[in-house]
Amino acid sequence: MKHLIILLSTVLSLFTACAQNTEKEESSQQYKVEKSEEEWKDQLTDIEYDVLRNEGTEPAFSGKYVEWKKSGTFTCKACGNALFESDTKFKSGTGWPSFYDYIEGNVLEKPDNSYGWNRTEVECAKCGSHLGHVFEDGPKPTGLRYCINSVSLGFKAKK
């Protein structure tokens, strides 16, 4: 009986150890660029911080890039990662800059069930900053609409 109890408590403590490890791994997703909340606040304006780091949304038709027609590359406002090419931008009429595709490997998609909606969040693959959402009502060839906040973006003109 005594042996059984020792065996049981050993098994139990092993289980607890495993559970703790898994939790740790899940909570610390690895991004190439990681900063503390204070560092982000110093670097970004209030609205940039609210959208990029707090998953906020800028008011429709308020953003700099809604009607933007220049040729070049849209980058992450937080870390400079190249995200969208201007030739994938299209006029969606939604009030936010919209793209039908992103630059391969530089954007991550994540399920977002906040506010009771089943949406897919779009974030920068390099720093994890929030960019916007993706919807399945976009134009060809992808049929996708990446609905992105202007304040999440920077722009590099084509030379």
Binding site for Zn ion (CB under 5 A): 76, 78-79, 81, 124, 126-127, 129
Is 147 one of the annotated active-site residues of the chain?
yes
* Radius of gyration of the chain, Cα coordinates, nearest whole angstrom: 21
- Active-site annotation holder among 76, 79, 124, 147: 147
Q: In whole angstroms, how close is the CB of 43 to Zn ion at the nearest point?
A: 11
Of residues 63, 48, 68, 71, the one with CA closest to residue 130: 48
Between 57 and 139, name the residue whose CB sits nearer to Zn ion.
57
Cite the beta strand spans of 16-137 per DSSP E. Answer: 72-76, 82-85, 89-90, 98-99, 107-112, 119-124, 130-135
Between 33 and 57, name the residue whose CB sits nearer to Zn ion.
33
Residues 153, 100 contacting (CB under 8 angstroms): no
Residues 127, 118 contacting (CB under 8 angstroms): no
Q: In whole angstroms, how close is the CB of 88 to Zn ion at the nearest point?
A: 18
Q: Tokens for 17, please give them.
A: 């150890």
Q: In whole angstroms, how close is the CB of 128 to Zn ion at the nearest point?
A: 7
Between 31 and 135, name the residue whose CB sits nearer to Zn ion.
31
Q: In whole angstroms, how close is the CB of 80 to Zn ion at the nearest point?
A: 7
Torsion of CA 11, 16, 19, 23, to 10 degrees: -160
Q: Supply the residues annotated as catalytic.
A: 147
